[in-house]
Amino acid sequence: MTGKHKNVAYYPGCALEGTGHAYNRSTKAVGKELGLGLVELKNWNCCGAMEVKNVDPKLQTYLSARNLAIAEEMGFDTVMAPCNGCYHNLKKAEYDLANDQPSREVTERLSSKAGHKTYEPGKVETIHALDWIKDSIGEEGLAMRVKNSLKGIKVANYYGCMYTRPRHIFPEKDKGPGSESTSKPHFMDDLLAAAGAENVDYPLKTACCGGAHALSDSDTSTKLVLNLLTTAEACGADVIATECPTCHSGLEMHQVRAEKVLGRKTSVKILYFTQLLGMAMGLSPKAVGVHENFSDSMPLIKEKGLA
Amino acid sequence: MTANPAMTIEQVEVRCDALVGAAAGSLAGDARAIGDELLAMGEAVLEAWLWSKGREPTDNQTEGFRLLALHRQAAKGDPSFNACRETCREIVYHRNLIHFDEKLGDADRTARMGAMVVLHLALFVGGKLRESGLGEFCCSSRGIREGARVAQERATSMTQEI
């Protein structure tokens, strides 16, 4: 814990305004409870997500760079992006602008055309919501604020595929003790353990959820998600904790679809890690948006004394 | 090297389902053989992918395992393949857990868990194979691509009509 991320610019991204609104709500609620400053970027735009990147990667670099330029203009040296896709894209833009001349040229040209300053790499650090809480409050600080321990809740921490890949765009990871690992990420495990949760050893914590094909190729996504769910259950998990809105929505929707289409029912619950942390700090399920989740976790939440 | 892997991806899926669904405690006796089978099935999945791309699967090893060398080979020039990097490492890990568990105390559970990990690899790569004609599995934009193709066809058609 360094306390260095107490006040950061906030880039929610498109998903957190739609299907991932519970993540938006719980992130803000947890930040407020922890006394952390979050200032949303003014007039932010899409990070380029999946679609733009696939069609024109340099356009995606520009779109993400514009958000970084806004953060800089607002006087911030750190921007926090809770969505794995946004986090990944902002990191990638940072890397490309520092290492790829054609990307720099395109960003410069489009920034000039759009009438704003071109973002210079190295000015703004992009962090994830996990880094934000881990660095600013840390496990000890979090443990001191716990009112309703997550004791007795077995959690499978699911990070998805974009939080750690590709390794070269995350230069701060894999730096030994205290840093995040790209092969065995643990920040979410650390934070939830500090709140009293019992983390299970989950072998698919960075495996693909099929999120990119949630709509276009549902059968593949459903089978991948079903395997994530059944493996979590086999590990003894009551809950899968998520930190990405795409993964989260996919797990929730395909849990239902697996039952309807494949006749395979699973009962493991799916909650954002910020929802679990918020409830551990005494916030109500409503304050952290549990009612906005697609799946119903309330019976478990009540059973474990969190509501 | 044969162009026909020992098992197809579909056969791997069926075998993994059988292992996962086996009666409790029944895998412990054969656990070491199952541990090696997990590795072989992982290799078969990656071989199928490489052959489909017209590339001969390597016989080399990385960190003592051909599976990891095959993953490295498959990921070369295809960053999206790294989405199964840790899945491959988990297969190796589960195989090692079984082999280094002298009394095989937890072997039944480990073998079952390993089969779930192999199943994920099979589903991931199988999905990629099905989708390979449409573009990248990861971050693919089938709608956009199809939209672009349809728009182009319409434009061509209209031009011809005019």
- Please write the tens of the pLDDT for every residue from A120-156: 999 999 999 999 999 999 999 999 999 999 999 999 9
Length of chain B: 162
**pLDDT given at position B162:** 40
**pLDDT value for B160:** 45
Asked if B116 and A208 come within 8 Å (Cβ–Cβ), the reply is no
User: What distance in Å separates residue B97's CA from the closest CA in chain A?
Assistant: 13
Distances (CA, A) of B83 to A56, B71, B120: 21, 10, 11
- Burial of residue A112 (number of CB atoms within 10 Å: 0-12, 13-18, 19+): exposed
Rounded distance between C-alpha atoms, residue B15 and residue B32, angstroms? 16
Of the candidates A282, A305, A292, the one whose C-alpha atom is nearest the C-alpha of residue A144 is: A282
User: Which single residue is written with the structure tokens 């914590």?
Assistant: A205
Q: Which residues of A touch B95 (CB under 8 A)?
A: none
Closest partner residue to A227 (CB to CB) among B79, B123, B143 is B123
Supply the pLDDT for residue A51: 72
Query: Is the ipTM here above 0.95?
Result: no
Contact B137 A212 (CB under 8 A): yes
> Is the minimum CB–CB distance between B26 and chain A shorter than 8 Å?
no
| Cα dist from A256 to A21, A49, A267, A272, B162, whole Å | 20, 26, 10, 18, 50
Of A205, A224, A230, the CB nearest to B124: A224
Residue B107 backbone dihedrals phi, psi, to 5 degrees: -65, -35
Alpha-carbon gap, residue A31 to A49, rounded angstroms = 25
Q: Where does residue A294 rank: exposed (0-12), middle (13-18), buried (19+ CB within 10 A)? A: middle
* Cβ under 8 Å to A: B residues 85-144: 85-87, 89-90, 93-94, 112-113, 116-117, 119-120, 123-124, 126-127, 130-131, 135-144
Residue A25 tokens, joined: 């709500």
For residue A203, give Cα distances in angstroms to A110, A197, A229, A231, B96: 43, 18, 12, 8, 14
Whether A224 and B131 lie within 8 Å, measured CB to CB = no
Collect all residues from A whose CB is shorter than 8 A from any CB in B.
50-51, 53-55, 161, 165-166, 183-184, 203-208, 210, 212-213, 216-217, 220, 223-224, 227-228, 230-231, 234-235
What strands lie across the sheet with A154-158, from one edge to the other? A198-199, A154-158, A239-242, A269-272
Would you call the peptide bond into A166 cis, given omega within 30 degrees of 0 as the criterion? yes
Q: Which residue has the tokens 């911030």?
A: A76
Query: How far apart are the CA of A136 and the nearest CA of chain B, in angstroms?
Result: 29
Of the given ranges (A15-24, A62-71, B84-93, B138-147), which has the lowest mean pLDDT?
B138-147
> Which of A54, A183, A227 lies closest to B89 in CB terms?
A183
In this predicted structure, the answer to whether residue A74 has a pLDDT above a threshold of 50 is: yes
CB-based contact B49:B129 (threshold 8 Å):
yes
Residues of A within 8 A of B142 (CB-CB) are: 216-217
Region A192-216 average pLDDT: 88
User: Using a CB-CB distance cutoff of 8 angstroms, which residues of chain A are in contact with residue B20?
Assistant: 230, 234
Contact A54 B141 (CB under 8 A): yes
* Residues of B in Cβ contact (< 8 Å) with A53: 139
Contact list, B123 vs chain A (CB under 8 Å): 220, 223-224, 227
Ramachandran area for residue A153 (φ above 0: left; ψ -120 to 50: alpha; else beta): beta
Question: Which residue from A41, A299, A2 is spatially nearest to A133, judged by alpha carbons?
Answer: A2
pTM across the whole model: 0.90
Query: In which residue ranges of chain B is pLDDT below 50?
Result: 1, 136-137, 139-146, 151, 154-162
The string of DSSP codes covering B108-136 is HHHHHHHHHHHHHHHHHHHHHHHHGGGS-
As beta bridge partners, residue A239 has A155, A269
Identify which has the larger pLDDT, A16 or A2.
A16
Q: What is the spatial distance between Cα A35 and Cα A181, in angstroms, rounded to a whole number?
A: 27
Amino acid code (one letter) for A77: D
Closest by CA to A224, choosing from B137, B43, B161, B25, is B137
Q: What is the mean pLDDT of residues A36-58?
A: 88
Tell me how far apart the alpha carbons of residues A29 and A129 are, in angstroms, rounded to a whole number.
13
Nearest to A217 among B89, B131, B144 (CB): B131
The answer to whether A294 touches A271, Cβ cutoff 8 Å, is no
Between strands A125-127 and A78-80, the pairing is: parallel
Q: In whole angstroms, what is the distance from residue A72 CA to residue A66 CA?
A: 10
Chain A hits for B127, CB-CB cut-off 8 Å, are: 210, 213, 217, 220, 223-224
Q: How far apart are CA B9 and CA A70, in angstroms?
A: 48
Confidence of residue A109 (pLDDT cuts 50, 70, 90): very high
